Structure 1
Amino acid sequence: MQNPPGLVRRLLEAIVAYTWFFETCDDSVLDDDTALKQMEYAAYLLGQLPDGDKQHLVEELAAIAAAETDPAYREFIATFSFAMGISEE
């Protein structure tokens, strides 16, 4: 089964948005340890992907970052693949 166009991008945007929330929310909203645990689990799942899929995600992240207008969020997206262990750069 072929993925519908845009499916990977939308799912990746959702993952990035949730990890941004975990990264930036106040500890009165979500306990720091819980946020870290969720981010580590997301990194673990992404790390299980084959190298070709990881490269696809890196390319999608670059496109998403390039289109982002908020500087802080753009920087988060631009460094996401490294921070999550998807790439070494």
Structure 2
Amino acid sequence: MSDSPQLVTQLLQAVVAYTWFFETCDESVLEDDTAIKQQEYAGYLLNQLSDPDKRHLVDELAALAAGETDPAYREFVERFAFAMGLVESENG
């Protein structure tokens, strides 16, 4: 994947966007249990990455958060690595 750094960024944006959807949609759109299961599965898949790849994603997340103009979404992106278990603390 190092041949296409934009691929990593775009895929990460897609994962974060779908996870945001699962986090924010109400039960009339998607049952809470289903949304939680999908978020947990995303976290499981991300945690299969090597430590260097996890660090790379954490760096990408920081860049995505820095460029985000919606305060609520920016906060979600800033907390994403911790929420998905990629880092031990919210401070990275």
Same fold (TM over 0.5): yes
Partner AA of 2:41 in structure 1: Y
Please tell me whether residue 11 in structure 1 is matched to residue 21 in structure 2. Answer: no
Change (3 A) 1:2 1:55: closer
1:19-76 CA deviation, whole Å, 9 max, x = no partner? 0000000100000000000000000000111000000000000000000000000000
**Cross-structure match for 1:54:** 54
Q: CA deviation at 1:2?
A: 4.2
Over 4 Å off, 4+ runs: none
**Cross-structure match for 2:30:** 30
Please tell me whether residue 76 in structure 1 is matched to residue 71 in structure 2. Answer: no
**Cross-structure match for 1:66:** 66
Structure 1: stretches of 5+ with no match in the other structure? none
Partner AA of 1:24 in structure 2: T
Give the root-mean-square deviation of aligned CA atoms. Answer: 1.0
TM-score, length basis structure 2: 0.93
CA distance in 2, matches of 1:58, 1:35: 23
**Cross-structure match for 2:44:** 44
Change (3 A) 1:31 1:69: same
Higher relative contact order structure (alpha carbons within 8 Å, sequence separation ≥ 6): 1
